[in-house]
């Protein structure tokens, strides 16, 4: 691995460090939104319901951005494959791309549901 490739990998790892911080914030927001959802169901509190929906939309908007970042990274890995790379490496990078694509699609679907479900009929969870 050349020094340019190492620098690029280190830059990517630094970005992923920030993404872990984002995930921690999302975990806290999810915990808080659950308490708002609970308050809505127990007390029929419409303000809590709206706060819950707005937080959920925010969470899934951020997640979609993160998922698209990883999809872009997978596309770059796919495009950077060389003819002399091993078949195993080609297979794993292709599978990683497919997984990233499916996760991005699921994030977009969850965001659509969060935007559309005014009555909280669908339980959403990010995994």
Residue in 54, 94, 53, 45 with CA at minimum distance from that of residue 74 = 94
2-11: per-residue pLDDT in tens? Answer: 888 899 889 9
3-33: per-residue pLDDT in tens? Answer: 888 998 899 999 999 999 999 999 999 999 9
φ, ψ for residue 93 (rounded to 5)? -70, -40
pLDDT given at position 127: 46
Mean pLDDT of 36-55: 95
CB 74 within 8 A of CB 93: yes
Dist CA 26 CA 21 (whole Å): 9
Q: Which two tokens stand for residue 83?
A: 């003819």
3-class SS of residue 9 = helix
């Amino acid at each position: 691995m050349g020094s340019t490739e190492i620098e690029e990998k280190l830059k990517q790892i630094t970005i992923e460090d920030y993404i872990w911080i984002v995930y921690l914030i999302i975990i806290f927001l999810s915990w808080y939104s659950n308490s708002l959802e609970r308050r809505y169901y127990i007390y029929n509190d419409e303000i809590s319901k709206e706060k819950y929906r707005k937080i959920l939309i925010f969470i899934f908007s951020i997640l979609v951005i993160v998922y698209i970042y990883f999809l872009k990274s997978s596309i770059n890995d796919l495009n950077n494959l060389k003819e002399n790379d091993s078949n195993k490496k080609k297979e794993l990078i292709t599978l990683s791309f497919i997984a990233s694509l499916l996760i991005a699609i699921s994030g977009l679907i969850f965001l659509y549901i969060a935007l559309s479900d005014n009555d909280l009929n669908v339980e959403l969870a990010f995994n």
